[in-house]
């Protein structure tokens, strides 16, 4: 047991190779590191006591310097539609939010990668917070390991996670190193052993990290477009200046999204701003021959922002125009708005 008040190092967020190094550093056989990976990621142990094939001596050695690193949610809210928002404590006394979205036989977790965000998109509550801190790989993967929690006596079990979307607080590619590490753990045979098809990374299109993500993973990509008019997008999204949407689409054109890997374009619709035929035609021109689908998203109003959601009729018209031009477009169902858990509403 640690008695000198030094901060314990979390093991979650480490790769199998790094865990083997931990074992060797403590004088244990390297294969103990492989066992640790199995306990952390496959069996989801929350303490060394749960690791039944480790000796008491090895558990004691580990606990001198290390901890598993799991942290339970500090709070939760449940929506009338079944969506659950969880609050997690992170370093510096800050808190971040994750959203669990059940849908029949699917259960998706919307994961945060930063506390706050640097992108400062005009319409986003997280952006209005400003940037607070990067989350470590341990803090990101803790959200995944700790949701859904085990049911209490008398409660029904929640569905295990089937999908992860990096669409919570923060710009994932602005914390690329940690996000990439978590993706590696999720997809590695010694980790979760998930197919990359179960993971989506949403981004404003931060370059060159987007290219790195495309080159080194097979996860799905979601690009926050919201307007195909560069000037209008720039007014709403300061990132347009550094990462023009036309440059982002040019990069994406060099990759194959016609088979298993999917490209989605996210398009929040505002009344009288980007919901008319002219904007639909600009989006069609921007897409060109690119294989993708468009997710039309109803705007969720946040305090102090003078934008309004457009009508359902307008969204249907917009969708039908895209469909007639051979572009797959769908209207995304809103989830968790009554608990401030819908798209663009996370802020803690």
Tell me, yes or no, if 343 is annotated catalytic.
yes
DSSP state of 104: T
Query: What would the DSSP string read from start to end of 302-338?
Result: -TT----BPPHHHHHHHHHHHHHTT-EEEEPPP-SGG
Q: Which of 16, 97, 209, 266 is catalytic?
A: 97
Q: What are the E-state strand segments in 183-313?
A: 199-203, 220-224, 263-269, 293-298
Closest alpha carbon to 84 in 147, 23, 126, 42: 147
Reduced to 3 states, what is the DSSP secondary structure of residue 246? helix
Q: Which of 67, 110, 117, 343 is catalytic?
A: 343
For 222, other C-beta atoms within 10 Å of its C-beta total 22
For 176, other C-beta atoms within 10 Å of its C-beta total 19
Instruction: Return the percent helix, strand and coil in the chain, to nearest 5.
Output: 35, 20, 45
Q: In which element (H, E) is residue 95 found?
A: strand 94-103
**Catalytic residues, which ones?**
97, 343
């Amino acid at each position: 047991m640690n008695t000198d008040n030094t901060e314990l190092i979390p093991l979650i967020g480490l790769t199998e190779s790094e865990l083997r190094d931990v074992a060797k550093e403590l004088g244990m056989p390297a294969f103990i590191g492989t066992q640790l990976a199995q306990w952390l990621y496959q069996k989801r142990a929350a303490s060394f006591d749960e690791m039944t094939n480790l000796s008491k001596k090895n558990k004691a050695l580990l606990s001198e310097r290390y901890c598993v690193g799991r942290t339970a949610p500090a709070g939760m809210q449940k929506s009338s539609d079944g969506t659950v928002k969880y609050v997690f404590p992170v370093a510096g006394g800050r808190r971040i939010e994750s959203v669990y979205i059940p849908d029949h036989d699917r259960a998706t977790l919307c994961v945060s990668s930063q506390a706050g965000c640097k992108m400062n998109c005009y319409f986003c509550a997280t952006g209005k917070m400003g940037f607070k801190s990067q989350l470590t790989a341990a803090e990101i993967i803790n959200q995944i390991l700790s949701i859904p929690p085990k049911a209490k006596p008398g409660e029904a079990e929640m569905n295990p996670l089937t999908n992860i979307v990096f669409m919570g607080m923060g710009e994932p590619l602005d914390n690329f190193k940690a996000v990439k590490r978590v993706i590696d753990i999720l997809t590695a045979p010694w980790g979760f052993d998930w197919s990359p098809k179960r993971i989506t990374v949403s981004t404003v299109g931060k370059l060159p990290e987007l290219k790195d993500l495309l080159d080194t993973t097979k996860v799905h990509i979601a690009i926050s477009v919201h307007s195909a008019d560069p000037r209008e997008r720039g007014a709403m999204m300061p990132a347009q200046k550094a990462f023009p949407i036309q440059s982002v689409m040019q990069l994406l054109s060099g990759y194959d999204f016609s088979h298993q890997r999917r490209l989605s374009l996210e398009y929040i619709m505002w009344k009288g701003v980007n919901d008319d035929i002219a904007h639909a035609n600009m989006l069609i021109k921007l897409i060109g021959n690119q294989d993708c689908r468009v997710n039309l998203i109803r705007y969720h109003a946040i305090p102090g922002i003078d934008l309004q959601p457009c009508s359902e009729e307008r969204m249907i018209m917009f969708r039908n125009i895209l469909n007639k031009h051979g572009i797959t477009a769908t209207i995304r169902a809103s989830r968790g708005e009554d608990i401030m858990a819908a798209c663009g509403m996370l802020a803690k």
